[in-house]
Each structure stands twice: as C-alpha cells, then as structure tokens.
Amino acid sequence: MELTLAHSPDADDAFMFAALSLGKVNTRGYTFRHVLADIESLNRAAWEGRYDVSAISFHAYPYVAQHYLLLTCGASVGDGYGPVVVARPEEPSVPSLVAVPGEWTTAYLALKLWHPKVETISLPFDRIGEAVKEGEVPAGLLIHEGQLTYGRDQLRLVVDLGRWWKERTGLPLPLGGNVLHRRHHGYASEIAAVLREAIACSLSHREECLNQALAYARGLSPEEADRFVGMYVNDWTLDLGEKGRRAVRLLLEEGYSQGIISQLPTLDWVN
C-alpha cells in the first residue's frame, strides 16, 4: 500500500523521516511518498483530508478531526521553549500588531492565549523576520529556524511562548503532530509502529540523518541545525506519553474557553 506522507521542508521534519527516505526501515509492505509543504498549507490540506499521513498544527486538529486520527509519535514539542515574538529594539515592550505564519498554526493559538487583544497579519513564515527588521511590521512571530537566528538581525525577544506556557502550566507546548486518515483505521496501529520505528532509527543514526536534513536547514550552520533538530526531534517525538497528550488537551481546551477555537473534538489517539 502506498501512503502519502506530508511534512514540512524543514530540518527537523527532514531529520525525523530521514531513515525512512534512506531505506533503513522495515516498512512492512507500506511505501511512503513524501509530500513537502509549509505547515499552514498542510493545515489547509487537512481540512480536505488530502493526505494519508500528515504533519499538522495541533491548533488545526479540531477542524480536521472528522478526517484524521492523532498519532502519539511524530510530534514537535517545545519543552520550555517554542515560537518567539520578536521586535526591533525601539518598539513597545508589548506589541499591538504581530505578523504571524498563519492563523491555524499552534504558534498563533499560543500568541492569542498570551495576548488576546493583539492584532495579527499573516505572512509566509520565512518572510516574517525580514519584515520586522525592515520596519514593515512592528513585531513578528517566528517559528522554525527563526527561533535561533533572530539575533543576527538585532531583533529583541518579546516573549518565548514555550517558556511562557511552561511557567504558566508546568507542561510543554505541543506545536505540531502527525495525523493518519481515518480510512486507514484498520491498519492504524501498524502504520504508527512503522513511523515510530522510522523516527527511532533516525535518532540512532543521528549523524547520517542530520547530514540528510542539512539540505533543509535554511541558513543554519551544522551546529545550529543539530541544536534545532534536538529541540524538536527527541523523546517527545517518539511518544507524547500521558503528559504530552494532557498538554494537547489543555491547550485546545484553553483555546476553546477563550473563543479562539470554535469547536472541541474528542482526541482520538493511535498509540
């Protein structure tokens, strides 16, 4: 059976599935066709149930739950760190307008929980840092490698939303996860086991798989790419566990209680 496997063209996702793309994993008869797209595009595609397996933002899951089951493996979790709001040094300490990488990203949800009245404007995620630097917008919400590189542009950290969330709740900030289309529910545990094995294999062949991922490490040095991958592909990625699943549930419940999320589904997990 061929399955589409959709994920971001970023160093962490590339590393996560490097062992799979390098043929190091027993796929138990499944083949995976990799589809690369930015996370907000994947969120929108999930509304249509387009892909068999897809990375999505946890914020998007309430709107795609009719199509997808949640996998306990493959998540990107910020444990005391996460998306950052940055501004030029002369801007106010609490911005009134923030450029965001999409309204279905978990970064956007966390931003609105931190500052409910903030105004936002959507820009491509890889344009936000430059837009702040050039004065097009007063502040920006950075995901992916921008979390490590904003200092090069002399931008000031306003808030690290992962740190803020952990100080407030004691829990990590679950940013993105993998979902499996419900049409495969009969094979869900088997497919999840293949993907978990693939992630474990990438972690155990770190140097080789990191070299594969460097092609997607936009502007990062090898050392920075290694740090970035370690932030988002780790034990949480192998299995969210009870604590990680609880963090997802709390995040969505808070979004719903604040009116940011309009519906709250049952979280259907595949272990």
Catalytic residues: 144
Tell me if 46 sits within 8 A of 176, measured CB to CB.
no
Residue recorded with tokens 């009870």: 242
The helix/strand count (H/E) of the chain reads as 13, 12
Both tokens of residue 141?
A: 């919400």
Question: How distant, in Å, are the alpha carbons of 41, 227, 240, 260 from that of 101?
Answer: 11, 22, 25, 16
Tell me if 32 sits within 8 A of 5, measured CB to CB.
yes
**Helix segments in 126-240, DSSP class H:** 128-133, 146-149, 161-169, 188-204, 206-213, 222-232, 235-238
Taking alpha carbons only, the member of 53, 61, 132 closest to residue 100 is 132
Return the amino acid letter for 27. Answer: T
Rounded Cα distance between 125 and 128, Å, is: 6
Rounded to a whole number, what is the distance in angstroms from the first to the last CA of the chain? 21
